[in-house]
């Protein structure tokens, strides 16, 4: 689109590089080159955006899995506490119970953080690319309308 904007304007208001009216073949060639460049740029933007969302989803899943693993260990500590409580009436069970509660608290915090991270990455729609494509379509539509009026 920059090529069209930077072209010189002839005396009748139509744009060309050499001061004369461009041929249809030249216009088609320019449009093809510009659309090709535009599509490549938009694909590059979409790839970068999806890569970032994938990284965020991976981190979120990892944190969520870490919360699940700690919850599993918390369950083991809780079972140990119950066994110690039943087997012996000593302060050892209280220590195991405190460890279990602490593990469950940490697991809950990790699970919530992981859930938030996954929620931010979903849906994996390249929003910036969609906005950019809409703006490109608007510019092309306006250029076509202006060309039709001239």
Decide: 59 and 117 in contact? Cβ < 8 Å.
yes
Of 96 and 44, more confident: 44
Decide: 34 and 3 in contact? Cβ < 8 Å.
yes
Decide: 114 and 66 in contact? Cβ < 8 Å.
yes
pLDDT of residue 112: 92
Name the nearest CA neighbour of 105 among 145, 78, 87, 142: 78
Give the tens place of pLDDT for each residue, 43-84. 888 888 888 888 888 888 899 899 999 998 988 887 777 767
3-31 CB burial, b ≥16 within 10 A, e <16: ebeebeeeeeeebeeeeeebeeeeeeeee
Bridge partners, 9 (sequence order): 15
Taking the CA atoms of residue 37, residue 42, residue 44 and residue 48 in that order, the dihedral angle to the nearest 10 degrees is 160
- What is the token pair recorded at 136? 């490109």
pLDDT of residue 54: 86
Does residue 90 sit in helix, strand or coil? coil
DSSP summary character for residue 22: P
H/E stretch holding 113: helix 92-121
Average pLDDT, the chain: 78
Report the distance separating Cα 142 and Cα 134, nearest Å.
Answer: 12
Decide: 4 and 15 in contact? Cβ < 8 Å.
yes
Of 4 and 50, more confident: 50
* pTM attached to this predicted model: 0.41
């Amino acid at each position: 689109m920059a090529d069209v904007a930077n072209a010189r304007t002839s005396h009748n208001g139509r744009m060309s590089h050499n001061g004369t009216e461009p041929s249809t073949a030249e216009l088609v060639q320019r449009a093809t080159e510009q659309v090709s460049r535009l599509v490549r740029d938009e694909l590059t933007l979409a790839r970068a955006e999806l890569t970032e969302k994938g990284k965020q989803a991976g981190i979120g899943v990892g944190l969520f899995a870490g919360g699940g693993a700690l919850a599993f260990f918390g369950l083991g500590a809780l079972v140990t506490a119950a066994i110690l409580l039943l087997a012996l009436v000593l302060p050892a069970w209280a220590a195991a119970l405190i460890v279990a509660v602490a593990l469950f608290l940490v697991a809950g915090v990790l699970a919530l953080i992981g859930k938030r991270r996954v929620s931010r990455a979903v849906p994996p729609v390249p929003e910036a690319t969609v906005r950019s494509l809409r703006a490109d379509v608007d510019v092309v539509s306006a250029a076509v309308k202006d060309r039709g009026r001239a």
